[in-house]
Structure 1
Amino acid sequence: MSRRWLLLARLALPITLIAAAQSPERTPMHHATGTFEVKMTPEAQADAPTGGLPTSRMGIAKTFNGGMNGTASGTMLAAGTPKPGQPAGYVAIDQFSGSVDGKAGGFLLLHRGTIDKAGGSDLSVIIAPDSGTGALEGITGSFAIKIEGGVHQYDLAYTLPAK
Protein backbone atom coordinates (compact mmCIF):
# COMPACT_ATOMS: atom_id res chain seq x y z
CA MET A 1 0.00 0.00 0.00
CA SER A 2 1.37 3.39 -0.88
CA ARG A 3 2.32 5.91 1.75
CA ARG A 4 -0.53 8.18 0.61
CA TRP A 5 -3.17 5.48 1.21
CA LEU A 6 -1.71 4.65 4.62
CA LEU A 7 -1.99 8.32 5.59
CA LEU A 8 -5.59 8.51 4.34
CA ALA A 9 -6.45 5.30 6.20
CA ARG A 10 -4.98 6.73 9.42
CA LEU A 11 -7.01 9.93 8.98
CA ALA A 12 -10.23 8.05 8.18
CA LEU A 13 -10.12 5.87 11.30
CA PRO A 14 -10.48 8.73 13.83
CA ILE A 15 -13.25 10.30 11.70
CA THR A 16 -15.12 6.97 11.64
CA LEU A 17 -14.74 6.61 15.41
CA ILE A 18 -15.94 10.19 16.00
CA ALA A 19 -18.99 9.62 13.75
CA ALA A 20 -19.83 6.39 15.57
CA ALA A 21 -19.50 8.13 18.92
CA GLN A 22 -21.82 10.94 17.80
CA SER A 23 -24.56 8.57 16.53
CA PRO A 24 -26.85 8.05 19.52
CA GLU A 25 -28.28 4.63 20.22
CA ARG A 26 -31.91 4.47 19.09
CA THR A 27 -34.95 2.70 20.49
CA PRO A 28 -36.56 0.04 18.28
CA MET A 29 -39.06 1.26 15.68
CA HIS A 30 -42.40 2.16 17.28
CA HIS A 31 -45.78 2.78 15.60
CA ALA A 32 -48.31 5.29 16.86
CA THR A 33 -51.59 4.82 15.01
CA GLY A 34 -54.97 6.49 15.06
CA THR A 35 -57.17 8.97 13.23
CA PHE A 36 -57.04 12.68 12.54
CA GLU A 37 -59.36 15.39 11.33
CA VAL A 38 -58.09 18.04 8.95
CA LYS A 39 -59.45 21.47 8.09
CA MET A 40 -58.08 23.28 5.04
CA THR A 41 -58.49 27.05 4.72
CA PRO A 42 -57.77 28.69 1.34
CA GLU A 43 -55.23 31.50 1.69
CA ALA A 44 -54.29 32.30 -1.92
CA GLN A 45 -55.05 30.98 -5.39
CA ALA A 46 -53.69 31.71 -8.85
CA ASP A 47 -55.11 30.78 -12.23
CA ALA A 48 -53.09 28.46 -14.43
CA PRO A 49 -50.62 30.18 -16.72
CA THR A 50 -50.93 29.22 -20.38
CA GLY A 51 -50.32 25.47 -20.56
CA GLY A 52 -49.72 25.26 -16.81
CA LEU A 53 -51.53 24.31 -13.63
CA PRO A 54 -53.41 26.49 -11.15
CA THR A 55 -51.68 27.01 -7.80
CA SER A 56 -52.93 27.52 -4.27
CA ARG A 57 -51.81 28.06 -0.71
CA MET A 58 -53.88 26.55 2.10
CA GLY A 59 -53.79 26.79 5.88
CA ILE A 60 -53.87 23.38 7.61
CA ALA A 61 -55.36 22.60 11.03
CA LYS A 62 -55.35 18.99 12.30
CA THR A 63 -56.57 17.23 15.43
CA PHE A 64 -55.05 13.82 16.25
CA ASN A 65 -56.48 10.96 18.32
CA GLY A 66 -54.87 7.62 19.17
CA GLY A 67 -51.14 7.11 19.61
CA MET A 68 -50.70 10.78 18.72
CA ASN A 69 -52.87 13.13 20.77
CA GLY A 70 -52.71 16.80 19.94
CA THR A 71 -52.95 19.33 17.18
CA ALA A 72 -50.95 20.49 14.20
CA SER A 73 -51.04 23.64 12.12
CA GLY A 74 -49.22 24.48 8.94
CA THR A 75 -49.22 25.54 5.31
CA MET A 76 -49.68 23.63 2.05
CA LEU A 77 -48.64 24.77 -1.41
CA ALA A 78 -50.32 22.93 -4.29
CA ALA A 79 -50.40 22.93 -8.07
CA GLY A 80 -53.03 21.26 -10.22
CA THR A 81 -56.43 19.85 -9.41
CA PRO A 82 -56.52 16.41 -7.76
CA LYS A 83 -59.13 14.78 -10.02
CA PRO A 84 -59.03 11.95 -12.59
CA GLY A 85 -57.03 12.78 -15.70
CA GLN A 86 -55.26 15.74 -14.09
CA PRO A 87 -51.77 15.89 -12.59
CA ALA A 88 -51.26 17.58 -9.23
CA GLY A 89 -48.64 18.00 -6.57
CA TYR A 90 -48.20 19.51 -3.15
CA VAL A 91 -45.69 20.26 -0.45
CA ALA A 92 -46.61 21.09 3.13
CA ILE A 93 -45.10 21.61 6.53
CA ASP A 94 -47.01 21.33 9.75
CA GLN A 95 -46.05 21.62 13.40
CA PHE A 96 -47.40 18.89 15.70
CA SER A 97 -47.81 19.64 19.39
CA GLY A 98 -49.10 17.13 21.92
CA SER A 99 -47.96 13.64 22.84
CA VAL A 100 -46.86 10.46 21.09
CA ASP A 101 -47.45 7.28 23.07
CA GLY A 102 -47.63 9.40 26.22
CA LYS A 103 -44.43 11.40 25.57
CA ALA A 104 -45.16 15.15 25.46
CA GLY A 105 -43.53 17.43 22.90
CA GLY A 106 -43.72 18.35 19.26
CA PHE A 107 -42.04 18.11 15.85
CA LEU A 108 -42.33 19.21 12.23
CA LEU A 109 -43.89 17.01 9.54
CA LEU A 110 -42.65 17.59 5.96
CA HIS A 111 -44.99 16.45 3.14
CA ARG A 112 -44.39 15.84 -0.59
CA GLY A 113 -47.16 14.37 -2.72
CA THR A 114 -47.91 13.85 -6.42
CA ILE A 115 -50.78 12.52 -8.51
CA ASP A 116 -50.25 11.63 -12.18
CA LYS A 117 -52.83 11.79 -15.00
CA ALA A 118 -53.51 8.04 -14.68
CA GLY A 119 -54.43 8.51 -11.00
CA GLY A 120 -51.23 7.05 -9.55
CA SER A 121 -50.00 8.79 -6.43
CA ASP A 122 -46.82 9.06 -4.42
CA LEU A 123 -46.73 10.50 -0.91
CA SER A 124 -43.81 10.96 1.45
CA VAL A 125 -44.19 12.51 4.91
CA ILE A 126 -41.20 12.57 7.26
CA ILE A 127 -40.36 14.05 10.63
CA ALA A 128 -37.97 16.95 10.01
CA PRO A 129 -34.52 16.12 11.45
CA ASP A 130 -33.75 17.71 14.84
CA SER A 131 -37.24 19.27 15.10
CA GLY A 132 -38.39 17.25 18.13
CA THR A 133 -39.03 19.09 21.39
CA GLY A 134 -39.68 18.02 24.99
CA ALA A 135 -39.77 14.24 25.51
CA LEU A 136 -39.78 13.90 21.68
CA GLU A 137 -36.35 15.51 21.25
CA GLY A 138 -34.34 13.49 18.72
CA ILE A 139 -37.40 11.77 17.20
CA THR A 140 -37.01 10.49 13.63
CA GLY A 141 -39.43 8.67 11.37
CA SER A 142 -42.15 8.77 8.76
CA PHE A 143 -45.90 9.37 8.70
CA ALA A 144 -48.24 7.30 6.49
CA ILE A 145 -51.78 8.44 5.66
CA LYS A 146 -54.70 6.28 4.57
CA ILE A 147 -58.21 7.61 3.89
CA GLU A 148 -61.07 5.11 4.07
CA GLY A 149 -64.71 6.11 4.04
CA GLY A 150 -63.71 9.76 4.50
CA VAL A 151 -61.76 8.97 7.71
CA HIS A 152 -58.10 9.98 7.82
CA GLN A 153 -55.94 7.31 9.46
CA TYR A 154 -52.24 7.58 10.26
CA ASP A 155 -49.30 5.38 11.15
CA LEU A 156 -46.35 7.26 12.65
CA ALA A 157 -43.30 4.98 12.45
CA TYR A 158 -40.67 6.49 14.76
CA THR A 159 -37.59 6.01 16.88
CA LEU A 160 -36.20 8.06 19.75
CA PRO A 161 -32.70 8.24 21.19
CA ALA A 162 -32.18 5.56 23.84
CA LYS A 163 -31.99 6.98 27.35
Structure 2
Amino acid sequence: MSTLTATFTIDLTPAEVLLGAADRFDLAKTWTGTVAGTSRGVMLTAGDPAAGSASYIATETFEGTLDGREGTLTFQQLGTMAGGEPELRYVIAPGSGTGDLVGLTGTLTIGTIDEDGTHHVTVELT
Protein backbone atom coordinates (compact mmCIF):
# COMPACT_ATOMS: atom_id res chain seq x y z
CA MET A 1 0.00 0.00 0.00
CA SER A 2 1.23 3.50 -0.74
CA THR A 3 -0.04 6.94 0.21
CA LEU A 4 -0.12 9.79 -2.29
CA THR A 5 -0.97 13.45 -1.75
CA ALA A 6 -2.46 15.80 -4.30
CA THR A 7 -4.71 18.77 -4.85
CA PHE A 8 -7.46 19.36 -7.33
CA THR A 9 -9.60 22.22 -8.49
CA ILE A 10 -13.07 21.57 -9.85
CA ASP A 11 -15.35 23.26 -12.35
CA LEU A 12 -19.03 22.30 -12.02
CA THR A 13 -21.36 23.10 -14.91
CA PRO A 14 -25.13 22.69 -14.48
CA ALA A 15 -26.52 20.18 -16.97
CA GLU A 16 -29.88 18.72 -17.95
CA VAL A 17 -31.54 17.10 -14.92
CA LEU A 18 -32.01 13.33 -15.09
CA LEU A 19 -34.91 11.35 -13.66
CA GLY A 20 -34.33 10.68 -9.96
CA ALA A 21 -31.97 13.62 -9.39
CA ALA A 22 -32.63 17.08 -8.00
CA ASP A 23 -29.73 18.50 -10.04
CA ARG A 24 -27.07 17.30 -12.46
CA PHE A 25 -23.62 18.77 -13.00
CA ASP A 26 -20.84 18.01 -15.45
CA LEU A 27 -17.49 18.23 -13.69
CA ALA A 28 -13.92 18.84 -14.76
CA LYS A 29 -10.96 18.60 -12.38
CA THR A 30 -7.30 19.49 -12.65
CA TRP A 31 -5.07 17.38 -10.38
CA THR A 32 -1.55 18.30 -9.18
CA GLY A 33 0.93 16.55 -6.92
CA THR A 34 1.68 12.82 -6.95
CA VAL A 35 -1.70 12.51 -8.65
CA ALA A 36 -1.40 14.70 -11.76
CA GLY A 37 -3.76 15.01 -14.70
CA THR A 38 -7.36 15.80 -15.52
CA SER A 39 -10.71 14.15 -14.96
CA ARG A 40 -14.20 14.63 -16.34
CA GLY A 41 -17.46 13.24 -15.06
CA VAL A 42 -21.05 13.63 -13.92
CA MET A 43 -22.56 14.45 -10.50
CA LEU A 44 -26.20 13.85 -9.54
CA THR A 45 -27.68 15.40 -6.39
CA ALA A 46 -30.79 14.93 -4.26
CA GLY A 47 -32.23 16.38 -1.07
CA ASP A 48 -32.09 19.79 0.55
CA PRO A 49 -28.52 20.79 1.47
CA ALA A 50 -29.69 24.12 2.95
CA ALA A 51 -31.69 22.11 5.50
CA GLY A 52 -28.71 19.81 6.22
CA SER A 53 -30.01 16.67 4.48
CA ALA A 54 -28.80 15.79 0.98
CA SER A 55 -26.74 13.39 -1.09
CA TYR A 56 -24.79 13.14 -4.30
CA ILE A 57 -23.17 10.52 -6.48
CA ALA A 58 -20.42 11.20 -8.98
CA THR A 59 -18.28 9.24 -11.38
CA GLU A 60 -15.30 10.66 -13.23
CA THR A 61 -12.65 9.35 -15.60
CA PHE A 62 -9.12 10.41 -14.68
CA GLU A 63 -6.28 10.61 -17.21
CA GLY A 64 -2.75 11.22 -16.00
CA THR A 65 -0.23 9.82 -13.56
CA LEU A 66 -0.32 8.39 -10.05
CA ASP A 67 3.15 8.44 -8.52
CA GLY A 68 4.67 8.43 -12.02
CA ARG A 69 2.50 5.60 -13.39
CA GLU A 70 0.48 6.70 -16.42
CA GLY A 71 -2.98 5.71 -17.60
CA THR A 72 -6.67 6.21 -16.91
CA LEU A 73 -9.01 5.08 -14.15
CA THR A 74 -12.40 5.92 -12.73
CA PHE A 75 -13.12 7.62 -9.41
CA GLN A 76 -16.53 7.10 -7.77
CA GLN A 77 -18.02 9.23 -4.99
CA LEU A 78 -21.00 8.83 -2.68
CA GLY A 79 -21.63 11.79 -0.41
CA THR A 80 -24.43 12.10 2.15
CA MET A 81 -25.39 14.66 4.74
CA ALA A 82 -27.92 13.95 7.50
CA GLY A 83 -28.60 16.50 10.21
CA GLY A 84 -25.77 18.60 8.82
CA GLU A 85 -23.18 15.83 9.31
CA PRO A 86 -21.35 14.95 6.07
CA GLU A 87 -20.06 11.51 5.10
CA LEU A 88 -18.07 10.72 1.95
CA ARG A 89 -16.98 7.49 0.28
CA TYR A 90 -14.51 8.20 -2.54
CA VAL A 91 -12.87 5.21 -4.28
CA ILE A 92 -11.00 4.07 -7.36
CA ALA A 93 -13.45 1.82 -9.21
CA PRO A 94 -12.04 -1.73 -9.28
CA GLY A 95 -11.13 -2.89 -12.79
CA SER A 96 -11.20 0.63 -14.25
CA GLY A 97 -7.46 1.19 -14.75
CA THR A 98 -5.63 1.26 -18.08
CA GLY A 99 -1.94 1.51 -18.96
CA ASP A 100 0.31 1.52 -15.88
CA LEU A 101 -2.80 1.94 -13.66
CA VAL A 102 -4.28 -1.50 -14.43
CA GLY A 103 -5.22 -3.29 -11.21
CA LEU A 104 -5.05 -0.25 -8.94
CA THR A 105 -7.68 0.16 -6.25
CA GLY A 106 -7.82 2.50 -3.34
CA THR A 107 -9.61 5.23 -1.45
CA LEU A 108 -9.40 9.00 -1.48
CA THR A 109 -9.83 11.27 1.52
CA ILE A 110 -10.46 14.98 1.18
CA GLY A 111 -8.60 16.88 3.88
CA THR A 112 -9.03 20.61 3.62
CA ILE A 113 -10.59 22.88 1.01
CA ASP A 114 -8.96 26.26 0.52
CA GLU A 115 -10.96 29.47 0.07
CA ASP A 116 -10.13 29.40 -3.65
CA GLY A 117 -11.72 25.92 -3.94
CA THR A 118 -8.49 23.89 -4.03
CA HIS A 119 -9.15 20.46 -2.46
CA HIS A 120 -6.28 18.70 -0.63
CA VAL A 121 -6.51 14.91 -1.06
CA THR A 122 -4.81 11.81 0.30
CA VAL A 123 -4.95 8.68 -1.88
CA GLU A 124 -4.38 5.27 -0.30
CA LEU A 125 -3.49 2.76 -3.04
CA THR A 126 -4.00 -0.97 -2.50
Q: TM-score, normalised by structure 2?
A: 0.90
Matched, 1:152 2:119: yes
Query: 1:143: Cα distance to partner?
Result: 1.1
Residue identity in the other structure for 2:102 = E
The 1-side partners of 2:94 and 2:38 are apart by: 20
Cα deviation, residue 86, structure 1: 2.9
Quick one: distance in 2 between partners of 1:156 and 1:126? 9
Using the TM superposition, give the Cα deviation of residue 82 of structure 1 relative to its aligned residue in structure 2, in angstroms: 2.5
- State, as a whole percentage, how many aligned pairs show the same letter: 37
1:60-94 Cα distance to aligned partner (Å, 9 max, x none): 100000010100000000012423x3311001100
Please report the RMSD computed on the Cα atoms of aligned residues, expressed in angstroms: 1.7
Q: Which moved more, 1:58-67 or 1:137-146?
A: 137-146
1:11-160 aligned at under 5 Å gives the runs 29-45=1-17, 55-83=22-50, 85-116=51-82, 118-150=83-115, 151-159=118-126
2:49 and 2:5 map into 1 onto residues whose CA distance is: 26
Describe the SS at the equivalent of 1:135. Answer: helix
Higher relative contact order (CA 8 A, sep 6+): 2
Distance 2:122 2:29 in 1: 15
Superposed CA offset, 1:29-73 (max 9, x none): 111112100000000248xxxxxxx70110010000001010000
For residue 138 of structure 1, give the secondary structure of its aligned residue in structure 2. coil
2:74/2:93 contact within 8 Å kept: yes
Q: Which has the higher strand share?
A: 2
For these two proteins, the number of residue pairs brought into alignment is 123
Q: Which ranges in structure 2 are unaligned for 5 or more consecutive residues?
A: none
| Displacement of 1:106 | 1.3
Query: Do the aligned residues in 1 keep the contact of 2:10 with 2:30 (CA within 8 Å)?
Result: yes
How far apart in 1 are the matches of 2:113 and 2:96?
Answer: 30
Larger Rg over CA atoms: 1
Runs of 4+ in 1 over 3 A off after TM superposition: none
SS of match in other structure, 2:84: coil
Which has the larger helix fraction? 1
